[in-house]
Amino acid sequence: KAGVTQTPRYLIKTRGQQVTLSCSPISGHRSVSWYQQTPGQGLQFLFEYFSETQRNKGNFPGRFSGRQFSNSRSEMNVSTLELGDSALYLCASSFGPDNEQFFGPGTRLTVL
Amino acid sequence: DQQVKQNSPSLSVQEGRISILNCDYTNSMFDYFLWYKKYPAEGPTFLISISSIKDKNEDGRFTVFLNKSAKHLSLHIVPSQPGDSAVYFCAASKYGGSQGNLIFGKGTKLSVKP
């Protein structure tokens, strides 16, 4: 069974640009969550989606948005990139919100 | 305000000995706690969890202890092996086991020396 896949794995952008990251969950999983990992803050929750609906949202500015499609694939978008957005963005999927999460390898975003 | 704290950024242990990783939390609404392990260039992988109605959960070499009155949990690895070298994250949920909205600590890097 294929794991959670995230594309792209690495990305370099400049300040002010926008970026879209993609996450394909494990087949059959309907719940997807996104996290941001930085050296200073550790892992911080961004959003949680289940059946195309956002269930929870973390404490991030409105520049961070996400969505989930009918096939459970999810995307997150960051607009007007700032240097501080440089981080590893991790996606996790689970069968449902109360089930064990499986993390993808992450997308390493560097903002110059 | 950090709700889940791992105060030791790193820990070094000799192979075969016990590794004890600690985690403190501030929010009394947390009712489910998890430990994840992370290798470089990989996503975190689930290790073990504990519900607030228990004070101990064991899985092979891994045991998690929960002290609700102290708002403290710990992960014991016995015996430690070099393959256990990784970053360990403590996480908490206040949604009765819902894992889609976890609050993580900043992690503790464990090094197990042969």
Q: Which of A47, A51, A42 is nearest to A92 (CA)?
A: A47
**Contact at 8 Å (CB) between A110 and A15?**
no
Rounded Cα distance between B16 and A91, Å, is: 34
User: How do residues A60-108 score in pLDDT, each as one tens digit?
Assistant: 999 999 999 999 999 999 999 999 999 999 999 999 887 888 999 999 9
Which pLDDT score is estimated for B37?
A: 96
Q: Which of A44, A25, A35 is nearest to A96 (CA)?
A: A25
Rounded Cα distance between A63 and A51, Å, is: 23
Rounded Cα distance between A38 and A75, Å, is: 20
Q: Is the pLDDT of residue A2 over 90?
A: no
Is the CB of residue A22 less than 8 Å away from at least one CB of chain B? no
3-state SS, residue B11: strand
For residue A17, name the pLDDT band (cuts at 50, 70, 90).
very high
**Contact at 8 Å (CB) between A36 and A89?**
yes
Question: How near does any CA of chain A get to the CA of B39, in Å?
Answer: 10
Which pLDDT score is estimated for A1?
A: 62
Selected residue of B36, B101, B103, B109 to mutate for chain A interface (largest A Cβ count, 10 A): B101
Pick from B41, B96, B99: which is nearest to A101 by CB?
Answer: B99
Residue with tokens 């990251």: A21
For residue B40, name the pLDDT band (cuts at 50, 70, 90).
confident
Q: What integer is the mean pLDDT of B34-45?
A: 91
Pick from A4, A33, A106: which is nearest to B100 by CB?
Answer: A33
Which pLDDT score is estimated for A93?
A: 94
**Contact at 8 Å (CB) between A92 and A32?**
yes
User: How do residues A20-72 score in pLDDT, each as one tens digit?
Assistant: 999 999 999 999 999 999 887 888 999 999 999 998 899 899 999 999 999 99
**Contact at 8 Å (CB) between A34 and A90?**
yes
Q: Which helix (H) or strand (E) holds A48?
A: strand A42-50
Q: What percent of chain A has pLDDT over 70?
A: 99
- For residue B43, count other CB atoms closer than 10 A to its CB: 22
Residue A112: partners with Cβ closer than 8 Å, 6 or more residues away: A12, A13, A14, A15, A83
Higher model confidence: residue B20 or residue B103?
B20
Whole-number average pLDDT of chain B: 92
Q: Which of A93, A3, A100 is nearest to A48 (CA)?
A: A93
Which pLDDT score is estimated for B98?
A: 65
Q: Which of B43, B80, B41 is nearest to B63 (CA)?
A: B80
